[in-house]
Amino acid sequence: MLDASPIRNDWTREQAEAIYNQPFMDLLFQAQTVHRQNFDPNQVQKSKLLSIKTGGCAEDCAYCSQSARNGAQLSASKLIEVERVISQARKAKEGGATRYCMGAAWRSPKDRDMAALEAMVKGVKDLGMETCMTLGMLDEEQVFRLRDSGLDYYNHNIDTSERYYSEIITTRTFADRIDTLNRVREAGIKVCAGGIVGMGEQQMDRIDMMLALATLEEHPDSVPVNMLIPIPDTPLADVEQLDPIEFVRTVALARILMPKTHVRLSAGRTDMSDEMQAMCFFAGANSIFVGDTLLTADNPEEDKDTALFARLGISAMALGCDGSR
């Protein structure tokens, strides 16, 4: 095991750009070297994501079928029952998932929903799994209630760069996202924050998105890197597909800038070849979502992931094991 890379929060744009744009093989070598300094290169964390409240969201995120403002017309549902969440979590654990993520299509949760959310967290924790929620923006009281119920992680993606943000979302600001992340971190909940690439942004936006995360006071514990899934009737339905090499470069940059962070290969895997996914793992991705859906989007079925893991000699990361030395 090589000496671990130092954790830095003072990266500059010039440094990040130089890393991103170096020859591809040099970039992969650097990313894999950093990865091996901090993780077992042949282990990948498996998480499961459940939509606990779908559709009817007041936000206008251009990529999302759950927005009430977009044209996808996904039917809104109520918050699902606590017992159903725990039952699904139990099945996920039996399938090898160690972290259970629960997502609700909200701008922010209402006080009347908090008791049920707390019960979900406690129920999943009692199964011996790590818990994660993504519920939109949180106020201070909501953060503390979730923390006291045992929530381990809170996901709140920044989506893209600050420069490009208003092209994708107008109902909240980039600063709103950062404020929520800071509030969660200060309360002692681990942060999960990443973004989406392939939304028509420029290369510098992908670099700046990762730079914004890498220069937070503390790096996120997990950084999901999502490839846009174009949803019919949403504003980004016809966006041009991103070059796969650009996607791999983004994964590699995340690994180099945030050495001890779990870099999660998230949405868009159904459209990735096995070879592209393998290249992402080599570039430092070491976490995936399992199951055939991610909220409302398709995801590779578990038997396909199992077959890919077997071909690559990858095993699932044990609960609480980050592979570090």
Does the residue 12 lie in any domain? no
Question: Is residue 311 pLDDT above 90, yes or no?
Answer: yes
- Give the separation between CA 2 and CA 4, rounded to whole angstroms: 6
Catalytic residue, chosen from 145, 255, 264, 269, is 264
Question: 118 or 56, which is more confident?
Answer: 118
Question: Is residue 294 pLDDT above 70, yes or no?
Answer: no
State residue 325's pLDDT score: 25
For the chain, how many structural domains are there in total? 1
Catalytic residue, chosen from 8, 13, 36, 64, is 64
Range of the domain at 73: 23-310
Does the residue 316 lie in any domain? no
Catalytic residue, chosen from 99, 145, 192, 280, is 192
Does the residue 3 lie in any domain? no
Model confidence band, residue 154 (pLDDT cutoffs 50, 70, 90): very high
Active site residue 280: no
CB 209 within 8 A of CB 160: yes
State residue 300's pLDDT score: 59
pLDDT (tens digit per residue) in 30-49: 999 999 999 999 999 988 88
Does the residue 263 lie in any domain? yes
Question: Is residue 67 pLDDT above 70, yes or no?
Answer: no
Active site residue 321: no
State residue 118's pLDDT score: 95
pLDDT (tens digit per residue) in 227-277: 999 888 888 989 999 999 999 999 999 999 999 999 999 888 988 999 999
Joined tokens for residue 83: 């017992």
Catalytic residue, chosen from 99, 132, 255, 280, is 132
Does the residue 48 lie in any domain? yes
Does the residue 265 lie in any domain? yes
Does the residue 317 lie in any domain? no
Catalytic residue, chosen from 99, 101, 249, 255, is 101
Question: 108 or 155, which is more confident?
Answer: 155
Model confidence band, residue 295 (pLDDT cutoffs 50, 70, 90): very low
pLDDT (tens digit per residue) in 177-213: 999 999 999 999 999 999 999 999 999 999 999 999 9
| Verdict on whether the full-model pTM lies above 0.75 | yes
CB 62 within 8 A of CB 168: yes
Does the residue 13 lie in any domain? no
Domain at 33, CATH number: 3.20.20.70
Model confidence band, residue 321 (pLDDT cutoffs 50, 70, 90): very low
